[in-house]
Amino acid sequence: MIYANAFFTSGNSYPNEDIVELADNYTHQAVTYKKVGTAVEDGVIYRKKDNDFYERQWSGYVNALWWNIKEPGISVTTVTERINKALAPGYDIFFDEMSIEIDGTLYLQSNQKILSNNCKIKQTAESKEIFNCENKENISIKGFSLEGKKGEYVASSSSKNVGIMAHNAKNLIIEKNRFKNFTYSAVSGWGGVKHFIFRFNRVTNEFPDGWATAGSSYKKDNMGIVVAGENLTIFKNHFENSSQGIYIAENSNFVSISDNDVENTILEHGMYLDSGISNLTVIGNRVRNTVKVGIKLQNSDKAGYVSNNIVISNNIVENTGEGGDGILINNTTAPEVPQLYAKNVVVSGNVVRNAGQHGINVRFVDLGVVSNNVINDIRYAGIYISDTKGVEIANNNIKMTKENGIMIEANNYLLSANFNTIENPGMKDSGLEDLLTGITLRGTKNKEISLRYNKMIGNGTAMRYGVFVEFVEPAGPNPQQQTFQETYEMVGNTVLNVFRSEYRFLNVIKKLRVFRNNYINLSSFPPVEQF
């Protein structure tokens, strides 16, 4: 068998046949070259013998080894240059199982697939991504093990300390890869990304202890993945040991995050879902051991940044840090700024355990349901509700909360809490009795509140009251600005094993709209004339 380099060496005596069977010098595979017309010689696919041009014949993927990237003693710079030479024509390229180092960026082309059998590529240069597919389309990256430089940190969306740079990419599939030690993100795709799929990948870091807070830099901008755009799918990935896990940037649309594992965030949230995201589903994920919030949707007052159509369902969230809610839907509204509300929100079927703040915290929502969640071992309230319109809290099972089972704060309209079971609330025993209850209802600017068929079961002295209602005395010529307690309804609730009284009404000045068929111990119930 004649080796290709020998056949194409100038001055040899091999005949210039139309089709020649040769052997590749670097893979030792049999290879066929076919005589063609005029071509641009590239030394791999197109080669020249005397005055004749030959084209290498192949089907499927070309092999990166054809570009001699494993030559003994080859420099890292030369490896980088040769891989880029292989990528430049836009061939679909296969990288066999091997370990290589590069000191620059590898640039992909539109309509290109790169496939690997666990090729390990390590970046040795600072501020250089490994693969760049910015402004490209129809690209697939599969089966690689990518490792970052590890040391440098840049707190900016323009940071290049990433595995794959994907700004403005379209129709991009990233699957079955491993990412390790990228100080910004495994994949960075800020703005303009469309039809993006990230699936079956594993993202882990092995940063030294204290790395995230070393020096004066709080390295929160280290993420498993950060992407923004339309039609984004993040499915069945594993994220571990980044400052925060999954980050979907602002104003993204049609986003699906499902069946992922996120664990051990070293500074912040398991998932950060930024302002203005709409048509979002977060389903069936497992989030654990986060320093702050497990799953956070951050709504905003910025014009055009309203989140619409949100489903957070069937997730498991456990072990959030101090001050970290299990699931949080929030708004950064300043008092002087008009409030915007997330619209059409469903939080259902989740399991939240051992949260460092509230189990589920819902604020600034217009039309929503919080239902069928299992919430256990919570540092503050099981469910915390504030500033909502038309929200129903139903069929939740809440157990072992340090404070309230359900805390209904101010500025809610058309809120109902029905058929919830609350067991052993108030375990902190702080003495603040409005916090040591099954359900607490604040009196400030709440209107049309309904508590129906809830069951509250205390334990020892922990639960002071089943339901604690705090009325605020009206003031001035427009009292409804302070209180709407005349529209409260309480029907069919049951309170067991309470320490002080099943129901307490503080500062009562007007009759309840409906109080009927509740379980009452008459010896501890307030006198009828107070209503």
Q: Between 110 and 207, whose confidence is greater?
A: 110
Of the candidates 262, 172, 132, 199, the one whose C-alpha atom is nearest the C-alpha of residue 273 is 262
Q: Out of 80-84, 129-133, 135-139, 386-390, which region has the weakest mean confidence (pLDDT)?
A: 386-390
Share of the chain above pLDDT 70, in %: 90
SS3 219: coil
Q: Is the pLDDT of residue 476 over 70?
A: no
What is the pLDDT at residue 454? Answer: 95
Burial of 139 (0-12, 13-18, 19+ CB in 10 A): buried
What is the pLDDT at residue 485? Answer: 52
Name residue, tokens 């696919």. 45
pLDDT by residue (tens digit) across 49-99?
999 999 999 999 999 999 999 999 999 999 999 999 999 999 999 999 999
Q: Is the pLDDT of residue 467 over 80?
A: yes
Q: Is the pLDDT of residue 243 over 90?
A: yes
Q: What is the mean pLDDT of residues 250-264?
A: 97
Average pLDDT score, the chain:
90
Can you list the alpha helix ranges (DSSP code H) found in 111-246?
Answer: none
Contacts of residue 506, defined as CB under 8 A and 6 or more positions apart, other chains included, come to: 434, 443, 468, 469, 470, 471
What is the pLDDT confidence band of residue 224, given thresholds at 50, 70 and 90?
Answer: very high
Tell how far CA 428 is from the center of its chain. 31
pLDDT by residue (tens digit) across 354-389?
999 999 999 999 999 999 999 999 999 999 999 999
What is the pLDDT confidence band of residue 446, given thresholds at 50, 70 and 90?
Answer: confident
Q: What is the mean pLDDT of residues 164-178?
A: 98
Provide the residue type at 371 as one letter.
S
Of the candidates 487, 395, 381, the one whose C-alpha atom is nearest the C-alpha of residue 437 is 381
Q: What is the mean pLDDT of residues 331-357?
A: 85
Give, for 100, the enclosing helix (H) or strand (E). Answer: strand 99-102
Buried/exposed 96-119: b ≥16 CB within 10 Å, e otherwise:
eeeebebbbbbbbbeebbbbbeeb
What is the pLDDT at residue 57? Answer: 96
Tell how far CA 440 is from the center of its chain. 32
Q: Out of 356-360, 438-442, 446-450, 474-478, which region has the weakest mean confidence (pLDDT)?
A: 474-478
Distance of alpha carbon 433 from alpha carbon 237, whole angstroms: 44
Report which DSSP code applies to 62: E
Distance of alpha carbon 260 from alpha carbon 237, whole angstroms: 5
Other CB atoms closer than 10 Å to residue 287's CB: what's the count?
30
What are 156's two structure tokens? 């900016």
Domain boundaries, the chain: 4-57
Q: Between 461 and 148, whose confidence is greater?
A: 148
Q: Out of 110-119, 333-342, 459-468, which region has the weakest mean confidence (pLDDT)?
A: 333-342
Which DSSP string do the residues of 385-426 spell out, in sequence order? EEEEEEEEEES-EEEEESS-SEEE-SS-EEEEEES-EEES--
Adjacent-strand bridge partners of 408: 385, 441
Provide the residue type at 503 as one letter.
Y
Angle at 232 between CA 226 and CA 233, to 5 degrees: 95
Q: Is the pLDDT of residue 23 over 80?
A: yes
What are 492's two structure tokens? 């069919």
What is the pLDDT at residue 530? Answer: 39
Q: Between 521 and 491, whose confidence is greater?
A: 491
Other CB atoms closer than 10 Å to residue 435's CB: what's the count?
20
Adjacent-strand bridge partners of 139: 112, 172
Q: Is the pLDDT of residue 478 over 70?
A: no
What is the pLDDT confidence band of residue 506, given thresholds at 50, 70 and 90?
Answer: confident
Angle at 19 between CA 18 and CA 22, to 5 degrees: 135
What is the pLDDT confidence band of residue 482, given thresholds at 50, 70 and 90?
Answer: very low
Hey, which bits of 338-382 come out as E strands?
342-348, 351-355, 360-371, 374-378
